[in-house]
Structure 1
């Protein structure tokens, strides 16, 4: 482990800049928070809406029946895509 010494004034300056950067990032994230994502559905929502099991949902994903988006190992579905599947199932 390497130890580095810096002056207290330099450290304070670094911390102030870091805090200013953090505030800017928080402001930017606050402006764009949940834009559109609140309208997306997760696995549990889709299974409940379609009254299907998780395995059936996976089959729909695998064969291209239902489009999805994956973000950090979590799957999301657009409500209009789920509605299209409902209409497709009704027509069969």
Structure 2
């Protein structure tokens, strides 16, 4: 194994560059996520909680083919664009403020998960 020594000023400069690159990547992800909100997937629990509907109502929409969804590991996921369509078609009697809460809380949840993720 080879040991490489480094001047403290050089180390500080390298650390600043790494921090700059990290900030750039995080900002890019945030700007990309703003554009792709409709493509975001949320689970059934989030949909029920923030749209103030029961799990049975969501199940009925799935069974009647009124909402598209995906099942991963036994859990149902829905795209935000599908939830918007349900609201526009008045299949769910919640307002757009509930949808905004859903999107906002989902983003916060993802940020917390990302920060707590072991590296």
Length-normalised TM-score, structure 2: 0.41
**Paired position in structure 1 for 2:75:** 74
* Counterparts of 2:64 and 2:81, CA distance in 1: 18
1:48 equivalent to 2:49? Answer yes
Structure 2 gap segments, 5+ residues each: 1-35, 94-119
Q: How many residues align?
A: 55
Q: Are residue 88 (structure 1) and residue 110 (structure 2) matched?
A: no
* Separation in 1, partners of 2:82, 2:50: 12
In structure 2, C-alpha distance between the alignment counterparts of 1:70 and 1:50, rounded to whole Å = 20
Give the TM-score taking structure 1 as reference length. 0.53
Aligned structure 1 segments of 4 or more residues deviating by more than 3 angstroms: none
Shift of 1:57: 0.5
CA contact (8 A) 1:50 1:86 kept: no
Distance 1:84 1:41 in 2: 15
Q: 1:48, CA displacement in angstroms?
A: 2.3
